[in-house]
Structure 1
Amino acid sequence: MSSILAVTFPFFALVLCGYLAAHRRYLPESAIPGLNGFVLFFALPCMLFRFGSSMPFAQLIDPWLAAIYAVCALVIVGGTIAATRHQVVLKDAAFGALVAAFPNTGFMGVPLLVAVLGQAAAGPVITTILVDLVLTSSLCIAVAESHAPHGPGPSPLARALRGAFSNPLPWAIGLGAAKAASGIVFPGPVDQVIKMLADAASPVALFTIGAVLWRAGQHTHTRTPVAHYLPVSLVKLFVHPLLVLGLGFGARAAGADVPLFGLTVLALAAALPSASNVSMLAERHGADNGRVARIIMASTVLSFLTFSGFASLTRPLLAQ
Protein backbone atom coordinates (compact mmCIF):
# COMPACT_ATOMS: atom_id res chain seq x y z
CA MET A 1 0.00 0.00 0.00
CA SER A 2 2.80 2.41 0.89
CA SER A 3 4.53 1.85 -2.44
CA ILE A 4 1.27 2.62 -4.28
CA LEU A 5 0.74 5.76 -2.21
CA ALA A 6 4.27 6.88 -3.11
CA VAL A 7 3.22 6.75 -6.78
CA THR A 8 -0.27 8.25 -6.39
CA PHE A 9 0.59 11.02 -3.93
CA PRO A 10 2.21 13.40 -6.48
CA PHE A 11 -0.84 13.11 -8.75
CA PHE A 12 -3.31 14.04 -6.02
CA ALA A 13 -0.90 16.69 -4.69
CA LEU A 14 -1.01 18.44 -8.08
CA VAL A 15 -4.83 18.39 -7.94
CA LEU A 16 -4.63 20.04 -4.52
CA CYS A 17 -2.18 22.62 -5.85
CA GLY A 18 -4.63 23.56 -8.59
CA TYR A 19 -7.45 23.88 -6.08
CA LEU A 20 -5.39 26.05 -3.73
CA ALA A 21 -4.10 28.22 -6.57
CA ALA A 22 -7.66 28.99 -7.65
CA HIS A 23 -8.88 29.37 -4.07
CA ARG A 24 -6.10 31.85 -3.22
CA ARG A 25 -6.71 33.67 -6.56
CA TYR A 26 -3.19 33.01 -7.78
CA LEU A 27 -5.03 31.59 -10.78
CA PRO A 28 -7.88 33.94 -11.77
CA GLU A 29 -11.22 32.24 -12.28
CA SER A 30 -11.42 33.69 -15.78
CA ALA A 31 -8.23 31.78 -16.68
CA ILE A 32 -9.59 28.34 -15.70
CA PRO A 33 -11.60 27.70 -18.92
CA GLY A 34 -8.50 28.65 -20.94
CA LEU A 35 -6.34 26.26 -18.92
CA ASN A 36 -8.94 23.56 -19.41
CA GLY A 37 -9.01 24.31 -23.15
CA PHE A 38 -5.23 24.01 -23.40
CA VAL A 39 -5.36 20.52 -21.89
CA LEU A 40 -8.41 19.37 -23.84
CA PHE A 41 -7.47 20.69 -27.29
CA PHE A 42 -3.66 20.66 -27.26
CA ALA A 43 -1.80 18.76 -24.53
CA LEU A 44 -4.04 15.75 -23.95
CA PRO A 45 -4.68 15.02 -27.65
CA CYS A 46 -0.91 15.03 -28.23
CA MET A 47 -0.39 12.61 -25.32
CA LEU A 48 -3.10 10.25 -26.59
CA PHE A 49 -1.78 10.57 -30.15
CA ARG A 50 1.67 9.46 -28.98
CA PHE A 51 0.23 6.49 -27.07
CA GLY A 52 -1.98 5.58 -30.04
CA SER A 53 0.95 5.69 -32.43
CA SER A 54 3.26 3.66 -30.17
CA MET A 55 1.34 0.36 -30.10
CA PRO A 56 -0.44 -2.01 -32.49
CA PHE A 57 -4.19 -1.49 -32.91
CA ALA A 58 -4.91 -4.89 -31.30
CA GLN A 59 -3.26 -3.64 -28.09
CA LEU A 60 -5.03 -0.32 -28.34
CA ILE A 61 -8.60 -1.63 -28.68
CA ASP A 62 -9.47 -5.04 -27.25
CA PRO A 63 -13.08 -6.00 -28.19
CA TRP A 64 -13.66 -8.00 -25.01
CA LEU A 65 -12.43 -5.21 -22.76
CA ALA A 66 -14.51 -2.65 -24.66
CA ALA A 67 -17.62 -4.84 -24.35
CA ILE A 68 -17.13 -5.48 -20.61
CA TYR A 69 -16.57 -1.81 -19.88
CA ALA A 70 -19.54 -0.73 -22.03
CA VAL A 71 -21.93 -3.16 -20.33
CA CYS A 72 -20.76 -2.00 -16.90
CA ALA A 73 -21.24 1.63 -17.91
CA LEU A 74 -24.82 0.91 -19.01
CA VAL A 75 -25.57 -0.93 -15.76
CA ILE A 76 -24.15 1.92 -13.64
CA VAL A 77 -26.06 4.55 -15.63
CA GLY A 78 -29.36 2.68 -15.53
CA GLY A 79 -29.00 1.69 -11.89
CA THR A 80 -28.02 5.18 -10.72
CA ILE A 81 -30.90 6.84 -12.56
CA ALA A 82 -33.35 4.31 -11.14
CA ALA A 83 -31.97 4.68 -7.60
CA THR A 84 -31.97 8.49 -7.56
CA ARG A 85 -35.03 9.31 -9.66
CA HIS A 86 -37.18 9.72 -6.52
CA GLN A 87 -34.78 12.34 -5.17
CA VAL A 88 -34.16 14.56 -8.20
CA VAL A 89 -35.62 15.38 -11.61
CA LEU A 90 -34.64 13.26 -14.61
CA LYS A 91 -32.03 15.73 -15.91
CA ASP A 92 -30.20 15.75 -12.58
CA ALA A 93 -30.51 11.98 -12.24
CA ALA A 94 -28.93 11.59 -15.69
CA PHE A 95 -25.98 13.84 -14.86
CA GLY A 96 -25.57 12.07 -11.52
CA ALA A 97 -25.44 8.80 -13.45
CA LEU A 98 -22.82 10.29 -15.77
CA VAL A 99 -20.45 11.14 -12.91
CA ALA A 100 -21.14 7.71 -11.37
CA ALA A 101 -20.02 5.96 -14.57
CA PHE A 102 -17.48 8.37 -16.11
CA PRO A 103 -14.07 8.27 -14.38
CA ASN A 104 -11.46 10.97 -14.83
CA THR A 105 -9.48 8.80 -17.25
CA GLY A 106 -8.40 11.57 -19.61
CA PHE A 107 -7.02 14.15 -17.21
CA MET A 108 -5.90 11.73 -14.47
CA GLY A 109 -6.25 8.09 -15.45
CA VAL A 110 -3.85 7.79 -18.39
CA PRO A 111 -0.77 9.22 -16.64
CA LEU A 112 -1.63 7.69 -13.25
CA LEU A 113 -2.24 4.16 -14.52
CA VAL A 114 0.82 4.28 -16.75
CA ALA A 115 2.84 5.33 -13.69
CA VAL A 116 1.38 2.47 -11.61
CA LEU A 117 1.32 -0.34 -14.19
CA GLY A 118 3.63 0.72 -17.00
CA GLN A 119 3.07 1.92 -20.56
CA ALA A 120 1.12 -1.23 -21.48
CA ALA A 121 -1.76 0.17 -19.40
CA ALA A 122 -2.33 2.94 -21.96
CA GLY A 123 -4.22 0.68 -24.38
CA PRO A 124 -6.98 -0.45 -21.99
CA VAL A 125 -7.31 3.06 -20.55
CA ILE A 126 -7.76 4.48 -24.05
CA THR A 127 -10.51 1.88 -24.57
CA THR A 128 -12.37 3.29 -21.54
CA ILE A 129 -12.00 6.84 -22.84
CA LEU A 130 -13.58 5.93 -26.17
CA VAL A 131 -16.48 4.08 -24.53
CA ASP A 132 -17.17 6.91 -22.11
CA LEU A 133 -16.95 9.69 -24.68
CA VAL A 134 -19.05 7.96 -27.34
CA LEU A 135 -21.48 5.81 -25.31
CA THR A 136 -21.72 6.89 -21.67
CA SER A 137 -21.72 10.66 -22.11
CA SER A 138 -23.95 10.59 -25.20
CA LEU A 139 -26.51 8.36 -23.49
CA CYS A 140 -26.66 10.43 -20.30
CA ILE A 141 -26.92 13.76 -22.14
CA ALA A 142 -29.65 12.33 -24.38
CA VAL A 143 -31.61 11.14 -21.31
CA ALA A 144 -31.09 14.52 -19.63
CA GLU A 145 -32.48 16.35 -22.66
CA SER A 146 -35.21 13.82 -23.50
CA HIS A 147 -38.00 15.86 -21.87
CA ALA A 148 -36.77 19.21 -23.19
CA PRO A 149 -38.87 20.67 -26.03
CA HIS A 150 -37.13 20.46 -29.39
CA GLY A 151 -38.20 21.18 -32.93
CA PRO A 152 -37.99 19.06 -36.05
CA GLY A 153 -34.18 18.94 -35.92
CA PRO A 154 -31.94 16.09 -34.72
CA SER A 155 -33.01 13.98 -31.74
CA PRO A 156 -31.35 14.48 -28.32
CA LEU A 157 -29.27 11.33 -28.89
CA ALA A 158 -28.13 12.53 -32.33
CA ARG A 159 -27.13 15.90 -30.88
CA ALA A 160 -25.28 14.18 -28.03
CA LEU A 161 -23.40 11.93 -30.45
CA ARG A 162 -22.49 14.92 -32.58
CA GLY A 163 -21.07 16.58 -29.47
CA ALA A 164 -19.08 13.42 -28.63
CA PHE A 165 -17.51 13.33 -32.07
CA SER A 166 -16.59 17.00 -31.85
CA ASN A 167 -14.35 16.10 -28.91
CA PRO A 168 -10.71 16.02 -30.06
CA LEU A 169 -9.70 13.02 -27.95
CA PRO A 170 -11.20 10.21 -30.09
CA TRP A 171 -9.73 11.82 -33.19
CA ALA A 172 -6.30 12.05 -31.58
CA ILE A 173 -6.45 8.34 -30.70
CA GLY A 174 -7.60 7.44 -34.20
CA LEU A 175 -4.92 9.53 -35.88
CA GLY A 176 -2.28 7.96 -33.65
CA ALA A 177 -3.46 4.47 -34.60
CA ALA A 178 -3.45 5.47 -38.29
CA LYS A 179 0.11 6.75 -37.99
CA ALA A 180 1.21 3.47 -36.39
CA ALA A 181 -0.48 1.44 -39.13
CA SER A 182 0.91 3.54 -41.98
CA GLY A 183 4.46 3.77 -40.70
CA ILE A 184 4.57 7.50 -41.38
CA VAL A 185 7.47 9.30 -39.67
CA PHE A 186 7.04 12.97 -38.87
CA PRO A 187 9.87 15.44 -39.37
CA GLY A 188 11.94 15.99 -36.24
CA PRO A 189 10.64 19.49 -35.40
CA VAL A 190 6.99 18.39 -35.77
CA ASP A 191 7.57 15.36 -33.56
CA GLN A 192 9.27 17.58 -30.98
CA VAL A 193 6.28 19.94 -30.82
CA ILE A 194 3.95 16.97 -30.24
CA LYS A 195 6.30 15.61 -27.57
CA MET A 196 6.49 18.94 -25.72
CA LEU A 197 2.71 19.32 -25.66
CA ALA A 198 2.27 15.67 -24.60
CA ASP A 199 4.78 16.10 -21.76
CA ALA A 200 2.77 19.08 -20.50
CA ALA A 201 -0.48 17.10 -20.42
CA SER A 202 -0.09 15.24 -17.14
CA PRO A 203 0.95 18.06 -14.73
CA VAL A 204 -1.26 20.71 -16.32
CA ALA A 205 -4.27 18.36 -16.47
CA LEU A 206 -3.95 17.44 -12.79
CA PHE A 207 -3.52 21.10 -11.82
CA THR A 208 -6.58 21.93 -13.92
CA ILE A 209 -8.71 19.30 -12.16
CA GLY A 210 -8.16 21.12 -8.87
CA ALA A 211 -8.94 24.52 -10.39
CA VAL A 212 -12.10 23.17 -12.07
CA LEU A 213 -13.26 21.65 -8.77
CA TRP A 214 -12.84 24.99 -7.04
CA ARG A 215 -14.68 26.78 -9.85
CA ALA A 216 -17.54 24.30 -9.68
CA GLY A 217 -17.93 25.06 -5.99
CA GLN A 218 -18.11 28.79 -6.71
CA HIS A 219 -20.96 28.26 -9.18
CA THR A 220 -23.00 26.15 -6.79
CA HIS A 221 -26.27 27.84 -5.92
CA THR A 222 -28.08 25.01 -4.13
CA ARG A 223 -27.58 23.14 -0.87
CA THR A 224 -27.45 19.44 -1.64
CA PRO A 225 -28.18 16.94 1.18
CA VAL A 226 -25.38 14.47 1.79
CA ALA A 227 -27.77 11.61 0.97
CA HIS A 228 -28.21 13.05 -2.53
CA TYR A 229 -24.52 13.01 -3.48
CA LEU A 230 -22.35 10.81 -1.24
CA PRO A 231 -23.99 7.49 -2.27
CA VAL A 232 -23.35 8.34 -5.94
CA SER A 233 -19.68 8.99 -5.13
CA LEU A 234 -19.48 5.60 -3.42
CA VAL A 235 -21.05 3.96 -6.49
CA LYS A 236 -18.25 5.50 -8.57
CA LEU A 237 -15.46 4.41 -6.23
CA PHE A 238 -16.66 0.94 -5.18
CA VAL A 239 -19.59 -0.42 -7.20
CA HIS A 240 -18.17 0.51 -10.61
CA PRO A 241 -14.75 -1.19 -10.24
CA LEU A 242 -16.23 -4.23 -8.48
CA LEU A 243 -18.79 -4.61 -11.26
CA VAL A 244 -16.02 -4.47 -13.88
CA LEU A 245 -14.04 -7.15 -12.04
CA GLY A 246 -17.11 -9.32 -11.50
CA LEU A 247 -18.23 -9.19 -15.13
CA GLY A 248 -14.68 -9.67 -16.36
CA PHE A 249 -14.05 -12.77 -14.26
CA GLY A 250 -17.47 -14.08 -15.21
CA ALA A 251 -16.59 -13.70 -18.88
CA ARG A 252 -13.23 -15.44 -18.32
CA ALA A 253 -14.98 -18.30 -16.52
CA ALA A 254 -17.32 -18.64 -19.51
CA GLY A 255 -14.33 -19.04 -21.81
CA ALA A 256 -13.95 -15.50 -23.14
CA ASP A 257 -10.44 -14.40 -24.05
CA VAL A 258 -10.28 -11.55 -21.54
CA PRO A 259 -6.67 -10.54 -20.74
CA LEU A 260 -6.09 -10.40 -16.99
CA PHE A 261 -3.79 -7.38 -17.25
CA GLY A 262 -6.32 -5.43 -19.32
CA LEU A 263 -9.13 -6.34 -16.92
CA THR A 264 -7.04 -5.06 -14.00
CA VAL A 265 -6.44 -1.78 -15.82
CA LEU A 266 -10.17 -1.48 -16.54
CA ALA A 267 -11.04 -2.03 -12.87
CA LEU A 268 -8.52 0.58 -11.72
CA ALA A 269 -9.81 3.04 -14.33
CA ALA A 270 -13.32 2.49 -12.94
CA ALA A 271 -11.96 3.14 -9.43
CA LEU A 272 -10.81 6.64 -10.42
CA PRO A 273 -12.80 9.68 -9.23
CA SER A 274 -15.54 11.18 -11.38
CA ALA A 275 -14.54 13.26 -14.40
CA SER A 276 -14.20 16.86 -13.25
CA ASN A 277 -15.29 18.35 -16.59
CA VAL A 278 -18.81 16.98 -16.11
CA SER A 279 -19.44 19.92 -13.75
CA MET A 280 -18.99 22.35 -16.66
CA LEU A 281 -21.17 20.12 -18.84
CA ALA A 282 -23.93 20.06 -16.24
CA GLU A 283 -23.75 23.84 -15.92
CA ARG A 284 -24.05 24.20 -19.71
CA HIS A 285 -27.14 21.97 -19.83
CA GLY A 286 -28.89 23.65 -16.90
CA ALA A 287 -28.62 20.70 -14.49
CA ASP A 288 -28.06 20.99 -10.73
CA ASN A 289 -24.35 21.73 -10.92
CA GLY A 290 -24.11 21.91 -7.12
CA ARG A 291 -25.03 18.25 -6.75
CA VAL A 292 -22.70 17.21 -9.58
CA ALA A 293 -19.83 19.24 -8.13
CA ARG A 294 -20.26 17.65 -4.70
CA ILE A 295 -20.27 14.15 -6.18
CA ILE A 296 -17.05 14.92 -8.05
CA MET A 297 -15.42 16.57 -5.03
CA ALA A 298 -16.31 13.71 -2.68
CA SER A 299 -15.09 11.07 -5.13
CA THR A 300 -11.83 12.96 -5.73
CA VAL A 301 -11.04 13.39 -2.04
CA LEU A 302 -11.95 9.82 -1.10
CA SER A 303 -10.20 8.26 -4.08
CA PHE A 304 -6.76 9.17 -2.74
CA LEU A 305 -7.19 6.24 -0.36
CA THR A 306 -9.75 4.10 -2.20
CA PHE A 307 -7.85 4.06 -5.50
CA SER A 308 -4.59 3.21 -3.74
CA GLY A 309 -6.41 0.44 -1.89
CA PHE A 310 -7.79 -1.05 -5.11
CA ALA A 311 -4.37 -0.79 -6.75
CA SER A 312 -2.82 -2.73 -3.86
CA LEU A 313 -5.55 -5.38 -3.86
CA THR A 314 -5.39 -5.97 -7.61
CA ARG A 315 -1.62 -6.20 -7.85
CA PRO A 316 -1.61 -9.97 -7.06
CA LEU A 317 -3.81 -10.50 -10.15
CA LEU A 318 -0.95 -9.36 -12.36
CA ALA A 319 1.28 -12.11 -10.98
CA GLN A 320 -1.12 -14.87 -12.15
Structure 2
Amino acid sequence: MTVGVALNATESDNQIDATVRLAGEAAAAGLRSAWFGQTLGADSPQLAAIVGRDVPALQVGTSAIPVFGRHPLTVASQALTAQAATHGRYHLGLALGTRLLTEGGYGIPFERPAARLREFLTALRQLTETGTADFDGELLTAHTPVPARVPGADTGVPLLVAAMGPQALRVSGELADGILPYLAGPRALAEHIVPAVTKAADAAGRPAPRIVALVHGVVTDDVDAVRERATDALAFYEQIPSYARVVELSGGTRAVDVAVIGDERTVSAEVRRYRDAGATEVVFSGTEIAGDADRRRTWDLLGALAD
Protein backbone atom coordinates (compact mmCIF):
# COMPACT_ATOMS: atom_id res chain seq x y z
CA MET A 1 0.00 0.00 0.00
CA THR A 2 1.18 3.51 -0.82
CA VAL A 3 1.13 5.78 2.22
CA GLY A 4 1.33 9.55 1.97
CA VAL A 5 0.56 12.80 3.74
CA ALA A 6 -1.32 16.00 3.07
CA LEU A 7 0.99 18.94 3.68
CA ASN A 8 -0.26 22.17 5.20
CA ALA A 9 2.51 24.59 6.20
CA THR A 10 0.34 27.51 7.28
CA GLU A 11 2.40 28.88 10.17
CA SER A 12 5.40 30.16 8.26
CA ASP A 13 6.92 33.34 6.89
CA ASN A 14 7.17 31.62 3.51
CA GLN A 15 4.64 28.87 2.93
CA ILE A 16 6.33 27.56 -0.20
CA ASP A 17 9.76 27.15 1.43
CA ALA A 18 8.20 25.59 4.52
CA THR A 19 6.20 23.14 2.42
CA VAL A 20 9.28 22.02 0.50
CA ARG A 21 11.08 21.49 3.81
CA LEU A 22 8.20 19.41 5.17
CA ALA A 23 8.06 17.38 1.97
CA GLY A 24 11.75 16.57 2.34
CA GLU A 25 11.11 15.34 5.88
CA ALA A 26 8.19 13.23 4.69
CA ALA A 27 10.32 11.61 1.99
CA ALA A 28 13.11 10.94 4.48
CA ALA A 29 10.59 9.18 6.73
CA GLY A 30 9.73 6.78 3.90
CA LEU A 31 6.43 8.30 2.79
CA ARG A 32 5.58 7.93 -0.89
CA SER A 33 3.31 10.86 -1.71
CA ALA A 34 2.47 14.43 -0.72
CA TRP A 35 -0.92 16.02 -1.40
CA PHE A 36 -2.01 19.65 -1.36
CA GLY A 37 -5.48 20.99 -0.73
CA GLN A 38 -6.87 23.76 -2.90
CA THR A 39 -7.90 26.73 -0.78
CA LEU A 40 -8.10 30.43 -1.55
CA GLY A 41 -4.41 30.60 -0.67
CA ALA A 42 -1.57 28.84 -2.49
CA ASP A 43 -2.40 27.35 -5.88
CA SER A 44 -2.19 23.59 -5.42
CA PRO A 45 -0.92 22.52 -8.88
CA GLN A 46 1.87 25.10 -8.69
CA LEU A 47 2.74 23.99 -5.16
CA ALA A 48 2.76 20.35 -6.24
CA ALA A 49 5.01 21.19 -9.19
CA ILE A 50 7.50 23.01 -6.96
CA VAL A 51 7.58 20.29 -4.32
CA GLY A 52 7.73 17.48 -6.86
CA ARG A 53 10.65 19.10 -8.61
CA ASP A 54 12.58 19.74 -5.38
CA VAL A 55 11.75 16.39 -3.73
CA PRO A 56 11.95 13.77 -6.49
CA ALA A 57 11.29 10.85 -4.14
CA LEU A 58 7.64 11.85 -3.77
CA GLN A 59 4.59 11.48 -5.94
CA VAL A 60 2.60 14.72 -5.65
CA GLY A 61 -1.05 15.58 -6.10
CA THR A 62 -3.87 18.00 -5.47
CA SER A 63 -6.85 17.10 -3.34
CA ALA A 64 -8.85 18.68 -4.72
CA ILE A 65 -9.70 21.44 -7.22
CA PRO A 66 -13.44 22.32 -7.38
CA VAL A 67 -14.92 22.12 -10.89
CA PHE A 68 -17.11 25.18 -10.33
CA GLY A 69 -15.35 28.45 -11.12
CA ARG A 70 -12.77 26.73 -13.35
CA HIS A 71 -12.55 25.51 -16.93
CA PRO A 72 -11.01 22.28 -18.28
CA LEU A 73 -8.72 24.21 -20.63
CA THR A 74 -7.17 26.12 -17.74
CA VAL A 75 -6.96 23.17 -15.38
CA ALA A 76 -5.40 21.03 -18.12
CA SER A 77 -2.65 23.62 -18.60
CA GLN A 78 -1.94 23.65 -14.87
CA ALA A 79 -1.92 19.85 -14.66
CA LEU A 80 0.26 19.29 -17.71
CA THR A 81 2.75 21.89 -16.47
CA ALA A 82 2.95 20.15 -13.09
CA GLN A 83 3.29 16.78 -14.82
CA ALA A 84 6.20 18.03 -16.93
CA ALA A 85 7.89 19.68 -13.93
CA THR A 86 7.72 16.44 -11.91
CA HIS A 87 8.57 14.09 -14.80
CA GLY A 88 5.31 12.17 -14.56
CA ARG A 89 4.72 12.18 -10.81
CA TYR A 90 1.72 14.55 -10.64
CA HIS A 91 -1.84 13.42 -9.83
CA LEU A 92 -4.79 15.74 -10.38
CA GLY A 93 -7.65 15.63 -7.89
CA LEU A 94 -11.00 17.29 -8.66
CA ALA A 95 -13.99 17.98 -6.44
CA LEU A 96 -17.59 19.07 -6.74
CA GLY A 97 -16.93 21.80 -4.19
CA THR A 98 -19.55 23.18 -1.82
CA ARG A 99 -22.53 25.47 -2.11
CA LEU A 100 -20.92 27.80 0.43
CA LEU A 101 -17.87 28.51 -1.76
CA THR A 102 -19.54 28.17 -5.15
CA GLU A 103 -22.40 30.55 -4.48
CA GLY A 104 -20.98 32.63 -1.64
CA GLY A 105 -17.48 32.99 -3.06
CA TYR A 106 -17.84 32.78 -6.83
CA GLY A 107 -21.45 33.87 -7.22
CA ILE A 108 -22.13 30.78 -9.36
CA PRO A 109 -25.32 28.73 -8.76
CA PHE A 110 -24.43 25.33 -7.31
CA GLU A 111 -26.60 23.45 -9.78
CA ARG A 112 -26.27 19.98 -11.32
CA PRO A 113 -22.84 19.28 -9.79
CA ALA A 114 -22.66 15.66 -10.97
CA ALA A 115 -23.53 16.67 -14.54
CA ARG A 116 -20.88 19.38 -14.46
CA LEU A 117 -18.34 16.89 -13.13
CA ARG A 118 -19.17 14.49 -15.98
CA GLU A 119 -18.67 17.14 -18.63
CA PHE A 120 -15.53 18.51 -16.95
CA LEU A 121 -13.93 15.06 -16.82
CA THR A 122 -14.88 14.26 -20.40
CA ALA A 123 -13.24 17.41 -21.76
CA LEU A 124 -10.28 17.19 -19.39
CA ARG A 125 -9.53 13.58 -20.35
CA GLN A 126 -9.33 14.62 -24.00
CA LEU A 127 -6.98 17.46 -23.14
CA THR A 128 -4.61 15.54 -20.88
CA GLU A 129 -4.38 12.54 -23.20
CA THR A 130 -4.29 14.19 -26.63
CA GLY A 131 -3.67 17.90 -26.06
CA THR A 132 -6.86 18.71 -27.93
CA ALA A 133 -10.55 18.97 -27.10
CA ASP A 134 -13.70 19.06 -29.20
CA PHE A 135 -16.50 19.04 -26.68
CA ASP A 136 -19.90 20.71 -26.53
CA GLY A 137 -21.97 19.83 -23.48
CA GLU A 138 -24.98 21.33 -21.79
CA LEU A 139 -22.86 23.10 -19.17
CA LEU A 140 -19.36 23.31 -20.67
CA THR A 141 -17.72 23.90 -24.02
CA ALA A 142 -14.07 23.10 -24.68
CA HIS A 143 -12.34 23.50 -28.03
CA THR A 144 -8.66 23.88 -28.88
CA PRO A 145 -8.00 25.97 -31.99
CA VAL A 146 -4.33 25.17 -31.38
CA PRO A 147 -2.98 22.09 -29.51
CA ALA A 148 -2.80 22.45 -25.71
CA ARG A 149 0.43 20.55 -25.21
CA VAL A 150 3.26 20.92 -22.71
CA PRO A 151 6.46 19.22 -23.93
CA GLY A 152 7.66 16.86 -21.24
CA ALA A 153 4.17 15.95 -20.04
CA ASP A 154 4.04 12.80 -22.13
CA THR A 155 2.77 10.27 -19.59
CA GLY A 156 -0.75 11.61 -19.14
CA VAL A 157 -2.16 12.86 -15.86
CA PRO A 158 -4.02 10.55 -13.46
CA LEU A 159 -7.46 12.02 -12.79
CA LEU A 160 -9.06 11.46 -9.40
CA VAL A 161 -12.22 12.84 -7.80
CA ALA A 162 -13.09 13.61 -4.19
CA ALA A 163 -16.28 11.59 -4.67
CA MET A 164 -18.39 10.07 -1.90
CA GLY A 165 -22.04 10.38 -2.98
CA PRO A 166 -23.77 7.92 -5.36
CA GLN A 167 -23.88 10.18 -8.42
CA ALA A 168 -20.32 11.42 -8.09
CA LEU A 169 -19.08 7.86 -7.52
CA ARG A 170 -20.84 6.67 -10.66
CA VAL A 171 -19.33 9.46 -12.77
CA SER A 172 -15.89 8.90 -11.24
CA GLY A 173 -15.99 5.17 -11.89
CA GLU A 174 -16.90 5.76 -15.52
CA LEU A 175 -14.49 8.60 -16.32
CA ALA A 176 -11.77 9.00 -13.67
CA ASP A 177 -8.84 6.87 -12.54
CA GLY A 178 -9.84 6.82 -8.90
CA ILE A 179 -11.32 8.70 -5.98
CA LEU A 180 -10.13 10.74 -2.99
CA PRO A 181 -12.69 10.25 -0.19
CA TYR A 182 -12.13 12.32 2.96
CA LEU A 183 -13.64 11.62 6.41
CA ALA A 184 -14.97 8.33 5.07
CA GLY A 185 -14.22 5.62 7.63
CA PRO A 186 -13.62 1.95 6.82
CA ARG A 187 -17.32 1.08 7.16
CA ALA A 188 -18.41 3.71 4.64
CA LEU A 189 -15.63 2.67 2.27
CA ALA A 190 -16.37 -1.04 2.43
CA GLU A 191 -20.17 -0.88 2.38
CA HIS A 192 -20.93 2.11 0.17
CA ILE A 193 -18.04 3.86 -1.57
CA VAL A 194 -15.75 1.14 -2.92
CA PRO A 195 -18.56 -1.10 -4.25
CA ALA A 196 -20.27 1.81 -6.02
CA VAL A 197 -17.22 3.21 -7.78
CA THR A 198 -15.89 -0.25 -8.65
CA LYS A 199 -19.22 -1.29 -10.14
CA ALA A 200 -19.33 1.86 -12.29
CA ALA A 201 -15.75 1.36 -13.50
CA ASP A 202 -16.42 -2.28 -14.34
CA ALA A 203 -19.58 -1.39 -16.27
CA ALA A 204 -17.63 1.21 -18.26
CA GLY A 205 -14.87 -1.28 -19.07
CA ARG A 206 -12.31 0.67 -17.05
CA PRO A 207 -9.64 -0.75 -14.71
CA ALA A 208 -10.34 -1.07 -11.00
CA PRO A 209 -10.22 2.48 -9.60
CA ARG A 210 -7.64 3.76 -7.16
CA ILE A 211 -9.11 4.42 -3.71
CA VAL A 212 -6.99 7.11 -2.07
CA ALA A 213 -8.43 7.43 1.43
CA LEU A 214 -7.63 10.75 3.11
CA VAL A 215 -7.57 10.21 6.86
CA HIS A 216 -7.34 12.84 9.57
CA GLY A 217 -4.91 11.23 11.99
CA VAL A 218 -2.03 11.65 14.42
CA VAL A 219 0.20 9.40 16.51
CA THR A 220 0.28 10.90 19.99
CA ASP A 221 0.22 10.10 23.69
CA ASP A 222 -1.83 13.22 24.42
CA VAL A 223 -4.99 11.78 22.91
CA ASP A 224 -7.56 13.90 24.73
CA ALA A 225 -5.91 17.23 23.92
CA VAL A 226 -5.32 16.34 20.27
CA ARG A 227 -8.87 15.03 19.89
CA GLU A 228 -10.22 18.28 21.32
CA ARG A 229 -8.24 20.29 18.77
CA ALA A 230 -9.34 17.94 16.00
CA THR A 231 -12.96 18.40 17.04
CA ASP A 232 -12.65 22.14 16.50
CA ALA A 233 -10.67 21.78 13.27
CA LEU A 234 -13.15 19.38 11.70
CA ALA A 235 -16.37 21.03 12.87
CA PHE A 236 -16.59 22.99 9.60
CA TYR A 237 -17.19 19.78 7.65
CA GLU A 238 -20.23 18.94 9.75
CA GLN A 239 -22.05 21.83 8.04
CA ILE A 240 -21.58 20.26 4.60
CA PRO A 241 -24.21 17.59 3.80
CA SER A 242 -21.88 15.28 1.85
CA TYR A 243 -19.42 15.08 4.72
CA ALA A 244 -22.11 14.78 7.37
CA ARG A 245 -23.58 11.87 5.40
CA VAL A 246 -20.31 9.98 5.02
CA VAL A 247 -19.47 10.45 8.71
CA GLU A 248 -22.86 8.93 9.56
CA LEU A 249 -22.28 6.04 7.14
CA SER A 250 -18.97 5.48 8.92
CA GLY A 251 -20.76 5.08 12.25
CA GLY A 252 -19.98 8.53 13.65
CA THR A 253 -21.99 11.53 14.69
CA ARG A 254 -19.23 14.17 14.61
CA ALA A 255 -16.43 14.47 12.10
CA VAL A 256 -13.85 13.79 14.81
CA ASP A 257 -15.39 10.34 15.27
CA VAL A 258 -13.64 9.16 12.11
CA ALA A 259 -10.29 10.71 13.04
CA VAL A 260 -7.47 8.29 13.87
CA ILE A 261 -5.74 9.47 17.03
CA GLY A 262 -3.66 7.29 19.34
CA ASP A 263 -0.39 5.46 19.79
CA GLU A 264 1.48 3.52 17.12
CA ARG A 265 -0.44 0.33 17.73
CA THR A 266 -3.81 2.08 17.45
CA VAL A 267 -2.93 3.95 14.27
CA SER A 268 -1.36 0.89 12.64
CA ALA A 269 -4.52 -1.10 13.28
CA GLU A 270 -6.66 1.65 11.73
CA VAL A 271 -4.48 1.84 8.62
CA ARG A 272 -4.97 -1.92 8.20
CA ARG A 273 -8.74 -1.41 8.51
CA TYR A 274 -8.66 1.09 5.66
CA ARG A 275 -6.64 -1.33 3.57
CA ASP A 276 -9.08 -4.15 4.30
CA ALA A 277 -11.99 -1.84 3.40
CA GLY A 278 -10.58 -1.39 -0.10
CA ALA A 279 -8.23 1.57 0.15
CA THR A 280 -5.35 1.23 -2.29
CA GLU A 281 -3.58 4.24 -0.77
CA VAL A 282 -3.86 6.03 2.58
CA VAL A 283 -3.01 9.70 3.00
CA PHE A 284 -2.86 11.21 6.49
CA SER A 285 -3.79 14.83 7.09
CA GLY A 286 -4.10 16.98 10.19
CA THR A 287 -0.74 16.29 11.79
CA GLU A 288 -0.12 20.04 12.05
CA ILE A 289 -2.55 20.26 14.97
CA ALA A 290 -0.37 18.05 17.16
CA GLY A 291 3.05 19.72 17.02
CA ASP A 292 6.36 18.79 15.43
CA ALA A 293 7.21 15.87 17.72
CA ASP A 294 3.93 14.05 17.08
CA ARG A 295 4.10 14.89 13.38
CA ARG A 296 7.52 13.26 13.08
CA ARG A 297 6.32 10.31 15.11
CA THR A 298 3.30 9.93 12.83
CA TRP A 299 5.36 10.15 9.67
CA ASP A 300 7.92 7.63 10.96
CA LEU A 301 5.14 5.12 11.59
CA LEU A 302 3.46 5.71 8.23
CA GLY A 303 6.77 5.42 6.44
CA ALA A 304 7.33 2.07 8.11
CA LEU A 305 3.87 0.91 6.96
CA ALA A 306 4.45 1.85 3.31
CA ASP A 307 5.07 -1.01 0.91
TM-score of the superposed pair, with normalisation by structure 2 = 0.25
TM-score (norm 1): 0.24
